[in-house]
């Protein structure tokens, strides 16, 4: 029996969102090598979604100024970047040879988790021979995911197969449960119950995201929330062994959150710093099993564990507080 269209879209969205976060985390530590691979991957993704004939122009002219992808038939230029700012976009526009690319439509694709809403409202100095409307021509990964519903099921199946192959080393979903178990076991040995919170007030997850100004990572939270059943099962297995590990792990996450809250005002930065802090604990562990888990899977597992704590309202304010 073939997979439903909605199921295919959900799996593609998860792949793209995970890859987006991977790019974001690398850019935070100054590593941009993966951006070259991302240009190739997004060339195929965009071609599939919009039925275009884009090619990577950097394969013709290395580090081509102004744009990365070109579709000569449809006269489209696309700049792919993990940074979305007025300066970045304006700089790209100014470098394009306006005589060679007259009447081309310029688009800017942000492949990181950076919010683009405010940038789309800005005004740019647009060369007379180029077509560019910020509101509709500045894209992000969420924009691409939204347009998956316009793609026929055969193309979606091929796209999922392609992404499974191209991003396979980024996250191995088959080992996610065992990786989570290993990481939870490591974290539990470092914890105390100082920040245990017994308040289990029911809340709406969307309200909590908005209330805590986390809308720019909304999709990331929802995508990881789809995997928290794996965290719950790990906690349950440890409880069967007489180990109440969940309280210890959640206590450490809460403690990390409150420590960061005293340092930073930006709720998005706090979210990523929680994951980075926990990652340092895990990577510095003497547990030999951690050596068999890739850095990417450590981060992916920690993301699910942290979102589980968020869903249980152990970090960030409950709506109405």
The reply to whether 51 and 136 lie within a common domain is yes
The reply to whether 181 and 151 lie within a common domain is no
The reply to whether 27 and 113 lie within a common domain is yes
The reply to whether 144 and 83 lie within a common domain is yes
Q: For residue 244, what are the domain limits? A: 173-311
Contact predicate 315/274, CB 8 Å = yes
The reply to whether 83 and 230 lie within a common domain is no
Chain center to CA of 22: 6
The reply to whether 151 and 102 lie within a common domain is yes
The reply to whether 150 and 267 lie within a common domain is no
In a domain, 321, yes or no: no
Q: Residue 19: CB partners within 8 Å, gap ≥ 6?
A: 38, 41, 163, 167, 170
DSSP secondary structure string, 218-249?
Answer: HHHHHHHHTTHHHHHHHHHHHHHTT--HHHHH
Q: How many Cα atoms sit within 13 Å of 100 on the Cβ side?
A: 8
pLDDT in tens, the chain (321 residues): 356 888 888 888 888 888 888 788 777 777 777 788 889 999 999 999 999 999 988 766 666 778 999 999 999 999 999 999 999 999 999 999 989 999 999 999 999 888 899 999 999 999 999 999 999 999 999 999 999 999 999 999 999 888 877 775 555 544 567 888 888 888 887 655 554 555 545 457 788 898 999 988 887 888 788 788 888 888 888 888 777 788 889 988 999 999 999 999 999 999 999 999 999 999 888 886 788 787 778 888 899 999 999 988 889 988 877
Choose one of 166, 184, 206: the last residue of a domain. 166
The reply to whether 181 and 161 lie within a common domain is no
Total domains present in the chain:
2
In a domain, 319, yes or no: no
The reply to whether 187 and 306 lie within a common domain is yes
The reply to whether 18 and 108 lie within a common domain is yes
């Amino acid at each position: 029996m073939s997979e439903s269209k909605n199921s295919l879209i959900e799996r593609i969205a998860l792949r793209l969102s995970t890859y987006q976060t991977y790019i974001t985390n690398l850019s935070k530590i100054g590593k941009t090598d993966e951006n070259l691979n991302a240009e190739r991957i997004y060339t195929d993704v965009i071609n599939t979604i919009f039925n275009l004939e884009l090619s990577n122009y950097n394969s013709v002219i290395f580090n081509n100024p102004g744009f990365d992808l070109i579709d000569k038939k449809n006269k489209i230029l696309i700049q792919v970047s993990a940074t979305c700012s007025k300066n970045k976009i304006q700089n790209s526009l100014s470098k394009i040879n306006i005589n060679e690319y007259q009447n081309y439509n310029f688009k800017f694709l942000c492949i990181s988790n950076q919010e683009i809403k405010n940038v789309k409202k800005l005004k740019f100095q647009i060369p007379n021979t180029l077509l560019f409307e910020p509101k509709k021509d500045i894209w992000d990964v969420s924009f691409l995911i939204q347009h998956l519903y316009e793609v026929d099921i055969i193309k979606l199946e091929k796209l999922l197969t392609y992404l499974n192959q191209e991003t396979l080393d980024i996250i191995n979903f088959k080992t996610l449960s065992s990786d989570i178990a290993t990481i939870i076991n490591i974290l539990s040995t470092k914890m105390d119950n100082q920040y245990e919170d017994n308040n289990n007030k029911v809340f709406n997850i969307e309200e909590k995201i908005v209330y805590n100004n986390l809308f720019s990572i909304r999709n990331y939270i929802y995508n990881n929330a789809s995997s928290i059943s794996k965290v719950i099962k790990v906690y349950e297995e440890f409880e069967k062994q007489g180990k109440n590990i969940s309280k210890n792990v959640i206590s450490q996450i809460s403690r990390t959150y409150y420590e960061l809250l005293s340092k930073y005002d930006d709720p998005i930065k706090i979210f990523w710093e929680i994951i980075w802090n926990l990652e340092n604990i895990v990577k510095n562990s003497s547990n030999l099993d951690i050596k068999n888990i890739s850095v990417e899977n450590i981060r992916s597992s920690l993301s699910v564990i942290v979102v589980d704590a968020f869903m249980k309202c152990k970090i960030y304010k409950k709506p109405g507080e």
